[in-house]
């Protein structure tokens, strides 16, 4: 099982007492990616958002800067909002990142959890599904073929047009990032793409029927089980003790989720709701390394196996120094427990 971190370069609540400049925030983010590489983590992902609370509107630039400071860790998007992007440019950017990083680039493509990119780049939200389906097809065509002939509804056609540069990896990995719609899981399986499941709340085991649909669609399409990888993108944070982890994570998490909830009609986050998502079945991976490792292994068993787990810690607004310690604990204490998971 691969273990990693995802970041949105985010500050959700706007707590002025803890705010730092955008320059310092990105500098600290690069420090964390470098630290994750040293700590032995397998992957670091940068999301894509187009709003004031985030600094990740150009994720490939952040990942390219990180590539120059790291040696081993894989660098990926989390996710690339493909619906509002040009697949040609997306491929070119990640192919370039792959060359800079000497073969460590990946993409997780999806539609994103916010809709800000659609009006920003001139797309109609009513075309939400059609945009993604068409652009995913073109991206996979470009990955497969140096010269591309293609036509669609939302972009000018390509007539035997070459797309450069080509990545070092052949093929460069493309994961499909999904939320909770059966159609997305089935699509990923039919295409034989690895699946990255965004687990935001509730109980992780609730995704088992959808993952079963993914595996069934992949099998029907002729793909082998080892090709149908499943990863989890989960909110989480690890500290030396569970008490410390809860104290560090809850205040920022509650403020951030309450703020987003005002946009989406959710009730305010309460301590009881937070605690209901902890423990063996809960979606929040918050605690000490041993408890969280056991929780992850339980999730893996309930889902029929997983290939990757990434911690999304931005939602807790935890200070940089504590995030650095958490990354160290995940790499040096939690990850070895997952490798030797038969003890649980």
10-residue stretch averages of pLDDT, the chain, 344 residues long: 94 60 93 98 96 92 98 97 96 98 98 85 91 97 98 96 98 95 96 96 95 98 96 97 97 89 88 94 97 97 97 90 97 93 49
- Residues 134 and 87: their CA atoms lie apart, in Å, by 10
Q: How many domains does the chain divide into?
A: 1
> Cβ(295)–Cβ(280) under 8 Å?
yes
Chain Cα centroid distance, residue 70 = 19
pLDDT at position 343? 45
Cis peptide before 143 (omega within 30 of 0): no
Name the DSSP letter for residue 200.
Answer: -
Q: Per this entry, what is the length of the chain?
A: 344
170: three-class secondary structure by DSSP: coil
Cis peptide before 165 (omega within 30 of 0): yes
- End-to-end distance of the chain based on CA atoms, in angstroms? 15
Per-residue pLDDT at 15 = 54
What pLDDT sits at residue 13?
A: 47
- pLDDT confidence of residue 180: 83
CATH number assigned to the domain comprising residue 82: 3.20.20.30
The domain of 78 spans 2-343
Give the pLDDT score at 341: 62
């Amino acid at each position: 099982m691969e273990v990693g971190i995802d970041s949105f370069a985010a500050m959700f609540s706007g707590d002025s007492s803890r705010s730092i400049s955008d320059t310092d925030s990105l500098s600290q983010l690069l420090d964390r990616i470098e630290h994750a590489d040293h700590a032995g983590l397998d992957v670091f992902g940068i999301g894509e958002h187009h709003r004031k609370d985030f600094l990740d509107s150009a994720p490939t630039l952040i990942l390219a800067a990180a590539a120059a400071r790291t040696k081993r860790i894989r660098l990926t998007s989390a996710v690339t909002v493909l619906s509002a992007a040009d697949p040609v440019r997306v491929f070119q950017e990640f192919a370039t990142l792959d060359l800079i990083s000497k073969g460590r680039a990946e993409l997780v493509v999806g539609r994103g959890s916010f809709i800000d990119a659609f009006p920003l780049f001139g797309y109609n939200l009513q075309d939400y599904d059609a945009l993604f389906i068409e652009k995913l097809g073109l991206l996979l065509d470009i990955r497969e073929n140096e010269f591309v002939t293609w036509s669609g509804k939302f972009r000018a056609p390509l007539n035997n047009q070459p797309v450069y540069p080509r990545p070092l990896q052949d093929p460069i990995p493309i994961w499909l990032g999904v939320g909770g719609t059966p159609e997305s899981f089935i699509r990923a399986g039919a295409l034989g793409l690895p699946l990255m499941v965004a687990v935001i709340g509730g109980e992780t085991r609730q995704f088992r029927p959808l993952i079963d649909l993914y595996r069934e669609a992949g099998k029907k399409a002729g793909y082998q089980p080892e090709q149908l990888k499943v990863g989890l993108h989960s909110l989480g944070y690890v500290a030396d003790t569970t008490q410390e982890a809860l104290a560090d994570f809850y205040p920022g998490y509650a403020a951030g989720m309450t703020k987003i909830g005002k946009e989406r009609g959710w009730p305010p986050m309460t301590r009881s709701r937070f605690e209901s998502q902890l423990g063996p079945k809960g979606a929040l991976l918050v605690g000490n390394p041993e408890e969280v490792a056991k929780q992850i292994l339980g999730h893996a068993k309930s889902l029929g196996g997983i290939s990757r787990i990434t911690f999304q810690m931005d939602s807790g607004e935890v200070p940089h120094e504590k995030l650095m310690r958490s990354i160290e604990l995940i790499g040096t204490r939690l990850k070895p427990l997952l490798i030797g998971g038969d003890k649980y």
